[in-house]
Structure 1
Amino acid sequence: MRQRPVNLMDNPHADRVKRVAQLAGRSAVRNRRQQFLAEGPQSATEAIRAHLGFLKLSEPAQQMWPVGETVAEVYYTQRLIISHPDLFALVQQLPAHVFVAETSDQVLQAMSDAVVHQGIVAVVNMPPHSLQPSPGAELVAGIVRVQDPGNVGTIIRVADASGADYALATAGTVDIYNPKAVRSTAGSLFHLPVYTRVELGTFVASFQGRIFAADGYGTRVLDQTDSGMLNGPTAWLFGNEGQGLNDDELRLADQRVAVPLYGLAESLNVATAATICLYSSAMAQRRQDPSTS
């Protein structure tokens, strides 16, 4: 395979290094520049595959991650060439308008949000905020004022794994492009649409299916819920870690559903509850329509 020209960077104090590092900080910088970081082999691989058109994405996901426009810059260390040769081969296929550089460990560490850098950082172009969720989806993960980036990233990953059409995040949710949130998605961020700043009432009014609120105090318990309720178009709402969903948000749901606790645990982490709820719906939908398996 033909090697593209290599840019070398070994000064951790260079202006370009500082500009990349700023994207690991405040969300205001990411929003102003409409870019964020995909750190580590998993996230960078999926961002680059989306850029190269190697992912089989739905049309809405293609609008978020358009071929040839997703990745702006890539930085990697020499060790990546040995440890992840397949990823390095993808980097070599990036077109000339994407800036690519091999860096020293000190440079990549200066760019990275992680305690120890993971060998590669990609600067990714943020999707337009004007994109809106479709009302006709089969399965949706609603992230409502969730504050921990690890939880948000895990819910997005579960939405991807369970075959959800998309995830959405309301105002008050932590920035999904926070480096920790992006890493926690393990690349799933680039597999399905994730809509941000969604007004929950507007979404609920237009959604063509049932709205379920995951609520520990819900009168309906998940393991006693008839599969006929779960196998149709469904949007699940998952609330803030400490407060859950507030009264106004709960009133928007058709059903408040509790995940049963069989042991002595008082409650479940929101990302764990999201896993159980989304998979309950996904499996019910697939039992009804085996062709979706």
Structure 2
Amino acid sequence: MSHEQRPGVAPFTERTPRVIAAGRLHRRRERDETGLFLAEGPQAVREAIDARAVKELFATPDAVARHPDLTKGATVVTDGAIAALAETVAPQGLVAVCHQRGVRLTDALAREPRLVAVLAEIRDPGNAGTILRTADAAGAGTVVFAGDAVDPYNGKCVRASAGSVFHTDLVRDGDAAATVEALKAAGLTVLAATGYGDTDLDDLADDGGLARPTAWLFGSEAHGLSAPLLAAADRRVRVPLHGRAESLNLAAAAAVCLYASARALRRPAADRP
């Protein structure tokens, strides 16, 4: 973390070269080339610090006064500089330049995760970040952004993850079909979440079908999972609708599926069907 802001030196502005360089991380190409990304707000910064992911922290004088526990060694900047770095309407005065913590799928699978979430071709950053957060909360050790999915380090995705971008083994794999094959080869049961599934989630849970290491496939809100991915899955699972709602949105369906697996995996082996 930077220690260059000296007493008596004016805060850096939006025209300062280091601020300009950090601002380029709003572009995916720059993030991919540097392996860096931006995280804004005290919650994200706290998680980044805990994960030892911070390369540089920018903070306004007010933020330094409000968050002395987070801003030791921060580079002090003007409100205008923070506005240039942040993407929210009302920035909270803190923006960190962070190291990406992505891993290869083979390395993630070597740690033998019991629950994996695969975001296949999901391009909406809000949905993707919310599912990442839910997967983390449910205990998924690995989250895969597969195929032509959104960049997990997109600003909106990072904010929607509420810090979970720093917690899981985060994998990007451009070949979703190869991802499924690798998951199967590692011994995970691959379940495709789809409203048209031939297996009911409640029945699967009751029969003990969630009590072993599992990878869930989730497709985009608009188009769902592709036919080849549905065919490649071990089972195609639908969330039962007990009321009159036509469907669940993607993030809600993902939460139901992941928590059903989390509950099954936490049960003592003797109590499983």
Q: Could you say whether these structures have the same fold, taking a TM-score greater than 0.5 normalized by the shorter chain as the test?
A: yes
| Equivalent position to 2:197, from 178, 199, 218 | 218
Alignment-mate amino acid for residue 210 of structure 1:
T
Aligned residue pair count: 259
Cα-to-partner distance string for 1:189-208 (whole Å, 9 max, x where unaligned): 11111101253333332231
Q: Which residue number corresponds to residue 256 of structure 2?
A: 276
Classify the secondary structure of the residue corresponding to 2:30.
Answer: helix
**Cα displacement (A) at 1:128:** 5.6
Q: Is 2:121 the partner of 1:145?
A: yes
Q: Which residue number corresponds to residue 62 of structure 1?
A: none
Q: Which residue number corresponds to residue 107 of structure 1?
A: 81
Alignment-mate amino acid for residue 214 of structure 1:
A
Q: Which residue number corresponds to residue 9 of structure 1?
A: 11
Deviates more, 1:174-183 or 1:204-213: 204-213
Q: d(CA) in 2 for partners of 1:221 and 1:139?
A: 19
Q: Is 2:235 the partner of 1:258?
A: no
Q: d(CA) in 2 for partners of 1:150 and 1:288?
A: 35
Alignment-mate amino acid for residue 177 of structure 1:
Y
Classify the secondary structure of the residue corresponding to 1:230.
Answer: coil
Deviates more, 1:112-121 or 1:8-17: 8-17
Kept in 2: contact 1:227–1:284 (CA 8 A): no
Segments of 5+ residues of structure 1 without an aligned counterpart are 52-69, 95-99
**Cα displacement (A) at 1:157:** 0.7
**Cα displacement (A) at 1:131:** 5.8
Alignment-mate amino acid for residue 245 of structure 2:
A
| Equivalent position to 1:243, from 199, 223, 232 | 223
Q: State the TM-score, normalizing by the size of structure 2.
A: 0.88
Q: Which residue number corresponds to residue 32 of structure 1?
A: 33
Q: Is 2:78 the partner of 1:78?
A: no
Segments of 5+ residues of structure 2 without an aligned counterpart are none
Alignment-mate amino acid for residue 140 of structure 1:
V
**Cα displacement (A) at 1:256:** 0.5
Q: State the TM-score, normalizing by the size of structure 1.
A: 0.82
Tell me how large the CA RMSD over aligned residues is.
2.0
**Cα displacement (A) at 1:19:** 1.6
Q: Which residue number corresponds to residue 109 of structure 2?
A: 134
Alignment-mate amino acid for residue 113 of structure 1:
E
Q: d(CA) in 2 for partners of 1:39 and 1:200?
A: 30
Kept in 1: contact 2:59–2:71 (CA 8 A): no
**Cα displacement (A) at 1:142:** 0.6
Q: d(CA) in 2 for partners of 1:231 and 1:178?
A: 34
Classify the secondary structure of the residue corresponding to 1:134.
Answer: helix
Q: d(CA) in 2 for partners of 1:211 and 1:125?
A: 31
Kept in 1: contact 2:41–2:91 (CA 8 A): yes
